[in-house]
Chain A
């Protein structure tokens, strides 16, 4: 026994010794090996911004990037015609001036002259010219690139962009249907619901034949023949409404006026790329820091997967003299826990740390905590007609049932207890602070809604008593007593909590209801929402462009995101008018805005298509020394061009 104790003592000593030693090493001045490289005379200390990132960069190519991490990096190492400043105001970047025609259909950009692309070492590679924009924009439509963000060209209203995206989409769907038709086999069908396999096979075959004939008929009518349709597509792409007048003049033609066109120019999908370099690098382009060119405020110096993103100032950037930061050093830790991030901030390892969970309550009211407004909205979609028609879906197609769900749900609990980070309970769909109207004394969308319909806070507010009444009445109507809903959500901590709260509330306020929460992997959830294998669907939406249309056009009949299959011809007609019809004229801006406000009322008060839940917000701790830190709601989250560190 004695020996054992002494052994333990020895072990304990070894441990304490190592612990002590480590502290000594930690307090030691900087590594002696690095000292001689520092210049002898005292220079201004470098301004290094230390940050943390919890995901890797999926794609470092402007026309292929689709996610916020890629956009964040791209927005800081490349520059487009415009960039975004404080409050998201577009500021000239690579363009030194621009003119818009009176009808709002032609934009002429004059580029800064003599600005060079820098390579990874900071050496000049070539001049940035209008051709670089032309090249990169066309890449978005190149079928070989399969660029997902090609729709941005369409959003910008560029001549032929919308048509080519639509036609290409039609052709692809046609090809897919054709393939499906060719691979249709009798053996795949089984007898079901009293129909024989042969019958089902015949129905399916006839359906597909019908669709194919429709497509072919359509193509023949518009383009003459199927082959001509393909030629037409090539022509549309070739004749995209952009034009290089000379090296420094770039003209864009729009098919209809787009009020937010200039804002879009700050989006990374519209950034330039040097054709010669892209061709030279081939497959390697954008896969490592040497295989990329930089015309933005920073150069990507080191990119270590799951370890580090290291950016240094680009001296060749046109506005380099106004860029205060010398380096941006991201520590990359995938799926890092919030406690760790906060601890790193408190230890001074990073200069800003988002707060979530318990940390919001703990640190949310410190003077260095800054709220961040966001315009992402989470909602419940209700399946009215998608997939196999079950009694539950019939029930949900009753708008009173949908209202009961909305009214029987305490949303403030989600925002105040589960998140407690400034997220707002939402009975509305177009978020607060998303878009103002110049024709309504710059009032916010919500304030205009208040003036028109008293819809500041939205429609059909929390009212459990009325919810119970509506619900009971609807159940009696349809002769139901026990109802079971499947609520599909993503896997993840917060969505699980929100779903549990919803289940708890609905089961309490709507008698006879059981809600089964099904947390699913990402792909599977999307698949189920597409095929309609759900009753309630927890989803979120972030805007693609700063116009209420990005919220309202989701709900057109058979829209891609309308997985509940809401259908309302009047709604579709107003969307058509506001999107590309009569209301798009510049002098109709006021009517258009009001039409959109009214659409929201139809969507939420009259039809209660969805149940809005909350508008997301965030709180972050930020070193008071950080200045000009402007979070952006659109495009890259932060533009470090403006940021400075006070000494």
Chain B
């Protein structure tokens, strides 16, 4: 197990290195330069390229960048005051994480509760309602939901603010007010999480409830609620945990439109702006961050599978 983990971590480093390399050269295929603007002259652009050493042969630039990365320097943004890329990412990350974490926590908790209820009261009204909700949830795109919320709950009813507001005590934006402004964006994202968790939880719990050891527990005289709480729920929830991680990534990377609608100064807006302005190092930085997240999560999921389900032996790699 330990050896396997070490092997995988070594592979991660190698993979990240390859990702960095490929993306570095791929970005050079993008048309134009970071300094394009309708009024810049050719000579001016050349001067800018020289200033930022973008005129060197690609390989020279690559080794320079790589050296920087090894020293923890991800380069600077050309478009935002030459700020270091790491600082930019760190300044945007909390907002993205806040919205994403709330959506995830809310979605998973509600999803587990509803999913469990549906499994326990199988073929009852709850079960059907949950099934319908589950299908609806994956059928409504988050941006459509966000648009409806803004139209009905913000514009028509005025219950919620249009915009996300970060905490700012001078302007009277308290922690609570700030939290209140995150409800709609979080919920728009959470619907998908709720439905997926719910469907997954339901099918897992149904399987567990039909298993022999639950039958045994019942036969030994434990009452139904005890069995469900002590034995079934726990065992059904373990596999659910494994789908949380990929969903977390989805929330972090796929929230662009929600960020736009609610004015959240988050990572995906940073990325899109960077792409639109050829801000190479910023694109690379955010992309590396996403890739790292993705790979680490895949690793964790693989390891969790092994821990949770002893039947899956690790010799075969991930399940």
Residues of A at the B interface (CB closer than 8 Å) are: 1, 3-4, 7, 18-19, 22, 25-26, 30-31, 33-34, 56-60, 66, 143-146, 148, 150-151, 168-170, 172-173, 175-176, 283, 286-287, 304-308, 329, 332-337, 339-340, 343-344, 521-524, 526-527, 539-541, 544, 560-561
Contacts and interface: CB of A to CB of B under 8 A. Distances in A.
A287 B83 contact: yes
A561 B38 CA distance: 8
Given A4-B125, A343-B162, A22 B42 contact: no
Chain A to chain B: the 7 pairs with minimum beta-carbon distance, closest first: A523-B32, A306-B265, A1-B125, A169-B43, A146-B47, A333-B263, A4-B126
Nearest to B114: A7
A560 B43 CA distance: 11
Contacts of B101: none
Given A58-B79, A58-B80, A66-B37, A146 B273 contact: no
A19 B159 contact: yes
A176 B46 contact: yes
Interface stretch (B170-178, B210-218, B311-319): B170-178
Contacts of B32: 522-524, 526-527
Given A305-B91, A560-B42, A1 B126 contact: yes
A333 B180 CA distance: 18
A539 B39 CA distance: 12
A19 B161 CA distance: 12
A143 B47 contact: yes
A3 B37 CA distance: 63
Nearest to B45: A148
Contacts of A172: 43, 46-47
B65 interface: no
A1 B121 CA distance: 9
A4 B117 contact: yes
Interface in B27-83: 30-33, 35-44, 46-48, 50-51, 79-83
Given A30-B172, A521-B31, A560 B41 contact: yes
Given A31-B172, A57-B81, 12 more contacts: A4-B126, A4-B129, A34-B169, A146-B48, A173-B46, A176-B42, A286-B81, A305-B88, A306-B91, A306-B269, A521-B276, A523-B33
B260 interface: yes
Interface string B149-169: 010001100010011001011
A31 B169 contact: yes
Contacts of A4: 117, 121, 124-126, 129
Interface in B107-124: 117, 121, 124
B91 A343 contact: no
A22 B38 CA distance: 48
A522 B276 contact: yes
A332 B82 CA distance: 19
Contacts of A30: 172
Given A4-B125, A286-B81, A340 B163 contact: yes
A145 B121 CA distance: 72
A336 B176 CA distance: 23
Contacts of A287: 81-83
B290 interface: no
B206 to A, nearest CB: 17
A59 B159 CA distance: 39
B44 A539 contact: no
B231 interface: no
A333 B36 contact: no
Contacts of B80: 56, 58, 305
A143 B278 CA distance: 23
A350 B33 CA distance: 36
Given A1-B126, A4-B117, A305-B80, A146 B265 contact: no
A95 to B, nearest CB: 28
Nearest to A2: B125
A19 B92 CA distance: 28
Interface centre among B31, B40, B176, B261 (most CB of A within 10 A): B31
B14 to A, nearest CB: 32
B131 interface: no
Nearest to A34: B169
Contact of B36 (A150, A523, A544): A523
B124 A1 contact: yes
Contacts of A22: 176-177, 180
15 contacts: A22-B177, A25-B176, A31-B169, A58-B80, A168-B43, A168-B47, A172-B47, A173-B42, A334-B265, A334-B273, A336-B163, A339-B162, A343-B155, A521-B31, A526-B36
Contacts of A521: 31, 276
